[in-house]
A and B are shown apart, each in its own frame.
Chain A
């Protein structure tokens, strides 16, 4: 799981938050995700295919998602409705788009992000491939970027 595959997403996410939402985000220490946790909030899944397969999943807590989309659109949302999911979709779309540029040379294709939400869902990571989770903190709440990539 090379940095060169992961960094584009991290950089794109950083850029999105810092430059376009004026939001400082601080990455914590990456760690290996043991058993897939039961997740809550909003998750955006970007699939990777090609010479390398896997997934990059951004998981936001409910409050963080609401706060971020509110800041993004300049409105005040209070509930996790369709607008929030759309907004998260937009954000991750941009992140994926930006990351794509850096991944072109590695012949990796990324999918359109899928957004899921719920109270108790699990992501089925590909078998036998470790999942690295990078936790982030920001003034609008916490989120995580989870990566599981396998090289062919």
Chain B
């Protein structure tokens, strides 16, 4: 299909229509005009001719034939009259009839008519002539080609004529007029031109008018719309059709504008999508490359598809997307049911609790520093941070950040170990500075004795009493080491003590000698180091020795022990000291028992402040230690407390548990006795303060060696008092 512009089409149509219309109009009207003109002329001519006819006739009748002739001649001279002739009925020209002339001349006695040349009756052949002769009516003949009109009028032989012409004929003759219509035709032609021009101009005007209007109303808008649409096609969406007509085109324009807007919106959406995708890509890249474990949780506590690649390698798990978080952290369902529930509770708070500050909730973060066992068996320690991601005031997601702390923790622990060593050294130094080296020298001496004993008897641990002594001595050593803040020594002694305890409880089994030797060695090493420090400080010791350095030291130690235990156990304690002696005889032999009793009282005898308050007691507990002279050269050592007193039921229970009592009913004295038996406290309850199963059995052993007696008085809720009655003789002996 050839593309023809609508303009062209419309214009062509208009042109064709107008042309046809105009032409028709022109020709029609021209024709009409011509006809009318001719008819009018005809009528006029006919009239004129008739008039002429009548005139001539009347002239002839009046006998003035030459007048008639002259008239005819004059007429002939008129330009329009091409031919004017009167013919006789035999076709000859009138007044050429000599006979008649003569006759008339004669008749008139005058010479009225000249003889005109005769033309022979060719007229008889003439069609018109014949017609008239036949019908005796006028005959008109229009010769368009020659632009002439011919009239044939019969001249009738009226009564009046007869008088001159005789009466033997009806038609005298025929007037023949040949009139030229050239003038008329020329006029018509001129009119035709004018009319044509006129119609042409009108046509053109109409054409122009319609074209303009069409252009304005239809074509221009359509073209305008067309160009806008093509601009949109090229991608320019900022255009719009500006058409304010209130017609179908206007509506179309409006719809097109809507469409453009729609396109624009969808394009922007597309752009937005592309941007979002780009951002997603970026974040994906970020997630894949960061060296931290990062994941996002949704409100169902499931991991979203947004997690960092590092996470998969850290946790040795893949495809985390969609996995519930508690499952991910605790893969083992059976073992970790409770842990999972705790996690879920925590997550619930994180998502829903909007009033509490994050830092508060973080306090119950179960994953703050968590050891996780990976599928491969490897252990890692991760530190997690949680961050809420809010949207419209609600928590939409939770971001979890994992950091692998394993290395850090290990370094930390190593550092801590180092620090402890240093600290212990510092403590040792401080203690020495404070107390003077004497105590330490004593400690070193007694430690050496203990080690010596153990070494000597290492083969003999099958024997219960040797084992027990070794155990007690080690325990004692441990206590003193602890008091002197030799933490490392204390720990080593503790381990050695455990070994002995184990041995003792599995009576009969062979002692693991290699381990014992190892322990002993490390103990001796430690002792050497302590000795070394003491050596270095020997010069700095304060020279001034008091009169009773032992006593001073003893009391100092008591205070220190009280303070330390007080602090550690969070119990307020006041120690009252009384001694009948300035210098206690046999102090070295008795002091360890005193320390044991003191420790025991503070640990078990005295209640915590709330208990005391509930019981209506003063917050500060009272401990009273006294050394009195008794009758019979005895020393009475008494330690009284105002604590909770001995709970015989609990004691009995414990004794049954540890097998020190057989099931059945027991007297209080029996139960009391178990207190002083080795292995009284079960292993599970060991704490480094009162030690395991030692304390009171060591006291008993010491008393036995000294020949002393132990007495216990107790009142439930009110307190306990331990008394040691020792003969002075054994104290003073070397």
Q: Which of A35-43, A86-94, A115-123 contacts B (4 or more CB under 8 A)?
A: A86-94
Find residues 360-377 in chain B having any chain A CB closer than 8 Å to their own CB: 360-361, 363-364
Contact of A30 among B360, B363, B609 (CB under 8 A): B609
- Whether B363 contacts A15 by the Cβ 8 Å rule is yes
- Whether B616 contacts A1 by the Cβ 8 Å rule is no
Contact of B360 among A3, A4, A94, A147 (CB under 8 A): A94
Find residues 2-43 in chain A having any chain B CB closer than 8 Å to their own CB: 2-4, 6, 15-16, 19-20, 29-32
Within the complex, what minimum Cβ distance (angstroms) separates B81 from chain A?
A: 129
- Tell me the dominant secondary structure on chain A's binding face: helix
Contact of A2 among B356, B360, B361, B611 (CB under 8 A): B611
B8 interface residue per 8 A CB criterion: no
- Whether B610 contacts A94 by the Cβ 8 Å rule is no
B359 interface residue per 8 A CB criterion: yes
How many interface contacts (CB-CB < 8 Å) are there between A and B? 56
- Whether B363 contacts A130 by the Cβ 8 Å rule is no
- Whether B608 contacts A4 by the Cβ 8 Å rule is yes
B1 interface residue per 8 A CB criterion: no
Encode B684-724 as 1/0 by CB contact (under 8 A) with A: 00000000000000000000000000000000000000000
- Whether A94 contacts B614 by the Cβ 8 Å rule is no
A140 interface residue per 8 A CB criterion: no
Q: Given A3-B570, A15-B363, A32-B616: A94 and B611 within 8 A (CB)?
A: no
Contact of A87 among B355, B360, B364, B614 (CB under 8 A): B355
Find residues 565-623 in chain B having any chain A CB closer than 8 Å to their own CB: 570, 607-611, 613-614, 616, 619
Contacts of B359 in A (CB 8 A): 19-20
Contacts of A6 in B (CB 8 A): 610
- Whether B353 contacts A90 by the Cβ 8 Å rule is yes
- Whether B610 contacts A30 by the Cβ 8 Å rule is yes
Within the complex, what minimum Cβ distance (angstroms) separates B104 from chain A?
A: 152
Count how many chain A residues have C-beta atoms less than 8 Å from C-beta atoms of the other chain: 26
B649 interface residue per 8 A CB criterion: no
B146 interface residue per 8 A CB criterion: no
- Tell me the dominant secondary structure on chain B's binding face: loop
CA distance A90 to B352 in the complex (A): 12
B733 interface residue per 8 A CB criterion: no
Q: Given A19-B359, A90-B355: A132 and B364 within 8 A (CB)?
A: no
A135 interface residue per 8 A CB criterion: no
Residue of B nearest to A29 (CB): B619
Contacts of A1 in B (CB 8 A): 610-611, 613-614
Find residues 81-112 in chain B having any chain A CB closer than 8 Å to their own CB: none
Encode A70-99 as 1/0 by CB contact (under 8 A) with B: 001100000000000011001001100110
Within the complex, what minimum Cβ distance (angstroms) separates A58 from chain B?
A: 16
Residue of B nearest to A130 (CB): B614
Within the complex, what minimum Cβ distance (angstroms) separates B52 from chain A?
A: 131
CA distance A72 to B356 in the complex (A): 7
- Whether A16 contacts B360 by the Cβ 8 Å rule is yes
- Whether A94 contacts B613 by the Cβ 8 Å rule is no
Contacts of B78 in A (CB 8 A): none
CA distance A73 to B353 in the complex (A): 12
- Whether B364 contacts A97 by the Cβ 8 Å rule is yes
Encode B481-504 as 1/0 by CB contact (under 8 A) with A: 000000000000000000000000
Encode B622-648 as 1/0 by CB contact (under 8 A) with A: 000000000000000000000000000
Residue of A nearest to B607 (CB): A2
Pick the 4 closest A-B CB pairs, nearest first. A3-B608, A1-B614, A20-B360, A130-B614
A to B CB contacts below 8 Å, 9 in the list: A3-B609, A15-B363, A19-B359, A32-B614, A32-B616, A86-B355, A90-B356, A132-B610, A147-B610
Q: A72-B357, A90-B356 are in contact. List 19 more A-B contacts (CB 8 A).
A: A1-B611, A1-B614, A3-B609, A3-B611, A15-B363, A16-B360, A20-B359, A20-B363, A30-B610, A31-B613, A73-B355, A94-B356, A94-B361, A94-B363, A97-B364, A98-B363, A130-B613, A132-B610, A132-B613
B residues lining the A interface (CB < 8 Å): 353, 355-357, 359-361, 363-364, 570, 607-611, 613-614, 616, 619
A residues lining the B interface (CB < 8 Å): 1-4, 6, 15-16, 19-20, 29-32, 72-73, 86-87, 90, 93-94, 97-98, 101, 130, 132, 147
